Amino acid sequence: DIQVTQSPSSLSASVGDRVTITCRASHDIMNSLSWYQQKPGKAPKVLVYAASSLETGVPSRFSGSGSGTTYTLTISSLQPDDFASYYCQQYYSAPLSFGQGTKLEI
């Protein structure tokens, strides 16, 4: 099974800040990585897939990068609506696995 380690687990930031969240996979996952945003009481929303492809409708301040075993999600200029939890997910092989999450707080 592929393990996905996400860091940091929590992050305090301010509106306008640039933030980066990292996921490391235990094996090369060939860019088969997606990022989700989740707000309390809501289902996750996909932001990025295939490591760097932005889902339709997602603001361009979100971007994904990486390759091999290390991937990052960057928010270039935090907006009030961005304070939420973020998860990465590898879909290279079964069982699909998610990172432990990053809670982004003001």
Q: Which residue has the tokens 């490591």?
A: 51
94 near other proteins, rule: CB under 8 A:
yes
10 near other proteins, rule: CB under 8 A:
no
The 71-90 contact track toward other proteins, x by CB under 8 A, reads ----------------x-x-
> What size, in residues, is the chain?
106
37 near other proteins, rule: CB under 8 A:
no
Closest alpha carbon to 89 in 78, 81, 80, 98: 98
DSSP single-letter state for residue 77: S
96 near other proteins, rule: CB under 8 A:
yes
